[in-house]
Amino acid sequence: MAVYIKKPEPSQKLRVLGVGAKFDVSGYPSLLSAKRKMRFGFIYPAVGKGGRLIPLLKVLQSNACMGNCYYCANRQGRDFRRVKFSPSEMAKLFIRYYEGGVVKGLFLSSAISARPTQVEEEMLETVRLVREKYGFRGYVHLKILPGTEEDLIAEAAKFADRLSINLEAPNQTYLSRLSPFKDYSGQLLRGLERIARVHRESPLKAGVTTQLVVGPSGESDRELMELSHKLYKGLGLWRVYYSGFTPLKDTPFEGLPPCSKWREARLYQADFLLRRYGFTPSELPYDGEGNLPQDMDPKLGWALAHPERFPVEVETASFEELLRVPGIGRISAQRIVNLRRKEGIGGLEGLKRMGAVVKRARNFITIKGKFSPSPQKGEKEVDEQLFLWEEL
């Protein structure tokens, strides 16, 4: 039986509803976010431009849910405290934290305790109060619930910087293994398409995003990457987030293994290659089951599978060819192209000054025809720099 707190204080509610919101991810593989832990269970350090950390109040309006998704902490019938903020309570509390300098933005979601439109209206009322009554101009990410009407989404877009809806899975077959009552194309995908349409007509400052649950439904990385690519190209999504599954007590998935943090991190890296490096999903290096290697980053995996493309001569290679070299990112590739004619490369030291990770790149390049490889070491690392300038 769910336990309802009688007349809880707002701070009590915040602790409960902050914990309920932590399963929505927004921007960083958990392998790297170990250093960026949530504070008090509800202050989430999102990563902004240039690696700046932006503390967000990340919270549910309510954790009471009619849904029974197998993996979810808030599912109906799970025995724990159910609480709800009224819009005025939530808005006031957020502003108190904002004015106290504790948070700089709001990420508001909710479980589905009634008709989705009714719950969405309450969340929207919170955001409206935050904007109109309290004059807050900073970042607001508002979750759209499955089944929300398009005119309400359009209204939400007037107040939020970002709207999102969680697709959870690559298709209905996988979704049914996670959430028996959700309809993939009629509810989730249609919801995302509605948000994307609203965004096209009146662009949101921080775009449209979605989240996928990784692991328990048995989907492959290839299927996830194909879906993400379709969403980036077809709907103009800003980001797809990958939430590695963690089993929770008293849920039907309690006994399932957690998703490996390396799998989650490699998905973020592969996603980055799709969005920023011109890779297509079919180029990524999968194993026989359609999964990315976990012991090396996917760009290195691709390079090792394509010896015919290397070594690349740094003095003459195009920007696109440089981008494919492990250890050379977009910024260093641009610097190489800009500076090589004026100043020359200056050998491996010069490359390092341009921002390349030389210990990796040197195995795949020549400089003025000279090849200077280094012995390969273990590659099980995630280049944190890759994510630092990602926005939220």
Calculate the alpha carbon distances from 328 to 277, 299, 352 in Å. 11, 10, 10
Among 112, 140, 300, 358, binds ligand SF4 (CB under 6 A): 112
Q: Centre a 10 Å sphere on the Cβ of residue 178 and count the other Cβ atoms it contains.
A: 20
Q: Binding pattern to ligand SF4, positions 70-99, x when CB under 6 A?
A: --x-xx------------------------
- Residues near 111 by beta carbon (within 8 Å), at least 6 away in sequence: 20, 60, 62, 63, 64, 65, 67, 74
Q: With respect to ligand SF4, which residue has the nearer C-beta, 148 or 179? A: 179
Residue nearest to ligand SF4 (CB): 67
Tokens of 135: 């004059």
Kindly provide the b/e burial profile for residues 250-286, where b requires at least 16 CB atoms within 10 angstroms of the residue's own CB: ebebeeeeebebbbbbbbbbbbbbbbebebebebbbb
Comparison of 21 and 270: residue with beta carbon closer to ligand SF4:
21
- Looking at the Cβ atoms of 148 and 332, the one nearer to ligand SF4 is 148
From candidates 17, 69, 175, 325, binder to ligand SF4 by CB under 6 A? 69
Contact between 113 and ligand SF4 by CB under 6 A: the answer reads: no
Q: Are strands 81-82 and 162-164 parallel, antiparallel or unpaired?
A: unpaired
Pick the stretch among 67-75, 149-157, 216-224, 248-256 that binds ligand SF4 (CB under 6 A): 67-75
Residue 140 per-residue DSSP state: E
296 binds ligand SF4 (CB under 6 A): no
Does residue 8 have a cis peptide bond before it, meaning omega lies within 30 degrees of 0? no
111 contacts ligand SF4 (rule: CB under 6 A)? yes
- Minimum CB–partner distance for residue 112 and ligand SF4 (Å): 5
Segment 175 to 204, residues that bind ligand SF4, using CB under 6 A: 179
Task: Mark residues 27-66: x for contact with ligand SF4 by CB under 6 A, - for none.
Answer: --------------------------------------x-
In angstroms, what is the minimal distance from the CB of 147 to ligand SF4? 10
Q: Which of 315, 321, 327, 316 is nearest to 363 (CA)?
A: 327
- What does the DSSP 8-state code read for residue 316? T
To ligand SF4, the closest distance from the beta carbon of 305 in angstroms equals: 37
CA 226 to chain centroid, in Å, comes to 16
Assess 143 for contact with ligand SF4 (CB under 6 A): no
Residues at the contact surface with ligand SF4, assessed by CB under 6 A: 65, 67-69, 72, 74-75, 111-112, 179
